Amino acid sequence: MVHDLLMAIDRRELEGLIPALRRYARGLAGSASAADDLVQECLLLALDRERQFRGERLKPWVFAILSNVGRSAHRSRRRSPVFAELDVPDAGSDPAMRVTVLAALSALPDEQRQPLLLTAVEGFTYRETAEILGVPIGTVMSRLSRARDALAERLDGAEIVALRRPR
Amino acid sequence: MTGPTITDDDLLAYADSRLDPDRRAAIEAWLADHPEDRARVEKWQSQTAILRAALDPVAEEQVPAELVRALRRKPTQWIGPAPAAAAAAVIAFAVGLASGHMLWNLPAERDVVQLASAGIDAHRIYAVEIRHPVEVGADEEQHLVTWLTKRLDTQVKAPDLSAEGLRLLGGRLIPSGDKPAALLMYEGENGERVTLLIERAAPRAMTAFRYAEAGAIGAFYWIDGGAGYALSGPADRVRLLRIANRVYEQLEN
């Protein structure tokens, strides 16, 4: 009789998720270096917790880990210096705009910022987001509404022009 | 008409383009008559565009080398099938073992799954042998390897597992399904025994590491470089994975 079946994590698939993990982490942490610290911790935790991986979809599983890492990092960190450091500008984005957006995001509590980033930027469905964050889907929806209204308040008055239409 | 009840959730799902066409049309009709809601939805949509414009470029950046190294720190490295297919294979395996039938009918998949049962069966039968655990002892390792390579028609090497406190006892030729297979046996100081089953596989076949457990025996099994492997031992997954990684590293070349 089989008592336990589990799968090892496919390292290449995990590696392929790093760009999206970095994007999510940047929205959570603000600065590039703090974000990459979160991603690194997330990757090491994912490998440490390989035992808990049951062959479900890897992407939501890893994003759940990063969400947790982001939350605990937030708790243990004084929340001032995140935006003191300006990101190196990269082609195709306006660094001033990014700083404004990240600053507005940093004012949101994790419980609002996380579902907002997971749905609006990472493209997870509401259901997937609920599973990633371990909360009921109704909670995700109400937090999203609050996140969006709060963000709208912060961004109003900032001179930001949407560069792209939503997908 | 009385019109549907429109909630914040609906507006949000509309703004996020997450509605089916019928529901979408209903919301559009609602928004046509409710300019305040329309303004809110448009604001949300432009938020989404702003968030993406700010963050999407991060995903285009070169990944810092230390992050890739974080993955390499643990030695496991393999190429796997699509996770869904692999998960299906594991489930098929569980179902197959539980019901006594192998329901899986993709030949390659069946071969992979059969590796685990062959490895676990062989371990159960031979690892308990006190006097005759192997046919050819480690003192004749060169002969053992040459003989098994010839019989299996694939390169057999006996990996060095001394870093895990295991020494080679020797090996034997066993049947695995309708194929010949090699069973190499290792022993630790405390009498712990670990076996490595090797059989021939299609030259280009590759799988992820998979793990199966039956009773007190666990096995990691995979196919790589023209051979299938099943590493079996006492069901301690963490230890077996470490040993399997040692095997994998040494057989890679």
Q: Exposed, middle or buried by CB within 10 Å (0-12, 13-18, 19+), for A33?
A: exposed
- Residue the block writes with tokens 């590696």: A15
Tell me the pTM: 0.54
Reduced to 3 states, what is the DSSP secondary structure of residue A137?
helix
pLDDT for res B252: 65
Which pLDDT does position A73 carry in this prediction? 66
- Lowest mean per-residue pLDDT among A30-34, A145-149, B136-140: A30-34
The domain limits of chain A are: 11-155
Q: pLDDT class for A153, splitting at 50, 70, 90?
A: confident
Q: How far apart are CA B252 and CA B234, in angstroms?
A: 25
Mutate to test the interface with A, among B14, B47, B247 (most CBs of A within 10 A): B47
Task: State both tokens at B54.
Answer: 């700010």
Q: What is the mean pLDDT of chain A?
A: 79
Assigned token pair, B57:
């470029």
Asked whether the predicted pLDDT for residue B180 surpasses 60, the reply is: yes
Q: Give mean pLDDT, residues A129-152.
A: 93
Of the pLDDT bands very low, low, confident and very high (cuts 50, 70, 90), residue B34 is: very high
A11-155 belongs to which CATH class? mainly alpha
Report yes or no: A145 at the B interface, CB cutoff 8 Å. yes
Which is nearest to B13 in space by CA: B1, B30, B2? Answer: B30
Find the closest chain A residue to B45 by CA distance.
A166
Amino acid identity, position B110: R
For chain B, the domains span 8-60, 107-251
Residue B104 host element (H or E): none
Question: What is the pLDDT, as a whole number, of residue A94?
Answer: 60
List chain A residues with CB under 8 Å of B229. none
Q: Does A18 touch chain B (CB under 8 A)?
A: yes
Per-residue H/E/C for B55-82: HHHHHHCCCCHHHHHHHHCCCCCCCCCC
Q: What is each CA distance from B239 to B76, B131, B166, B191, in whole angstroms?
A: 13, 26, 12, 15
Architecture of domain B107-251: 2-Layer Sandwich (3.30)
Is residue B96 pLDDT above 90, yes or no? no
Residue B105, pLDDT > 50, answer no
Candidate from B45, B86, B214 with C-beta closest to A1:
B214
In the structure, what pLDDT confidence band is assigned to residue A75 with cuts at 50, 70 and 90? Answer: low
pLDDT digits (tens, 9 = 90+) for B193-248: 999 999 998 776 777 778 888 888 999 988 887 889 999 999 888 899 889 988 98
A98 to chain B: which residues are within 8 Å by CB? 54-55, 57
Q: B188's torsion region: left (phi>0), alpha (psi -120 to 50) or beta?
A: beta
What are the tokens at B148? 């098994």
Task: Among B16, B46, B83, select the one facing A55 at the smallest CB separation.
Answer: B83
